[in-house]
Amino acid sequence: MPTATASGTTVPYLRQGSGLGLLLLHGTNSDGATGFGPVIDRFTDQRTVLAPDYAGSGGSTVPDGPLDLDLLTTQAAAVITDAATGPVDVVGVSLGAVVAAATAAAHPHLVRRLVLVAGWVSSDDPRHRLVFQTWRTLEASDPALATAFGLSLALSPGFLAGLGHERVAQFIQRRSPDGTAARIELGQRVDLRNRLPQISAPTLVIGLTQDNLVPAAHARAMHQAIPHSRYTEIDSGHAVVLEQPDQFVRHVRDFVLDEPDPTATRR
């Protein structure tokens, strides 16, 4: 697996396919492979898919102490410059959407098109902070209970009920990736309000209508803060790649693959 270096950290990344780069940035409780495994090969016909493990997930390293969003942004940019010769399309889900947005704001020359799924502008919202504080406390005291808590919010009620008792139990017993607690804690400190207006890449924001971890209102706020961005919704819980992979792939492909010269409409 190729590895990029950034600010004294190593960032391994999966690389598959050929063509223009498509960087996939995972969320808090996953890594590149588990976050996007079901859909990676559905882009490789036209894109070189890059799926990094960052901030302690997978084989990546993370400094001691609280995570800094600028570090994650630097890590994402390092993967792009290590793997590609020009700008790439960037897709981020959940915390990955936060990192993707910050990367596009800080490094506009590296991002051709941007898709932000289930992200949020700021952690100031009392409900958001309550959810993430509870999740962080459980992660420190009882990781299995933390996973159960996160699962109950990340999956829509109908999808979760349809998994059945045995599969739910299997999900709960999965070990969280390294650095999960630090990424949850970072989720309590996000503030993109000054960064989002700086995004110049054509941007699609996607809200998830049954998302109880990061409700769609947060995605709508991202859309409103990014000039000339587009907005759409998918009827899914937070774990959209698991619940609605076909819809996820269709929206991403429609936006980043079907318009051959997006730079012509750059703001």
Q: Which tens digits make up the pLDDT trace of 207-223?
A: 999 999 999 999 999 99
pLDDT at residue 234 is higher than 50: yes
Residue 230's H or E segment, with its range, is: strand 230-234
Residue 264: predicted pLDDT: 39
> Which domains, ranges and CATH numbers included, belong to the chain?
3-265 (3.40.50.1820)
pTM: 0.93
Q: Which tens digits make up the pLDDT trace of 37-68?
A: 899 999 999 999 999 988 777 778 777 778 89
pLDDT grade for 30, boundaries at 50, 70 and 90: confident
User: In angstroms, rounded to a whole number, what is the distance separating the alpha carbons of residues 222 and 233?
Assistant: 13
Residue 121: predicted pLDDT: 98
Q: For 177, which DSSP code? A: P
Average pLDDT over residues 198-214: 98
Give catalytic residue positions.
Answer: 94, 211, 238
pLDDT grade for 164, boundaries at 50, 70 and 90: very high
Residue 247: predicted pLDDT: 98
Residue 258: predicted pLDDT: 64
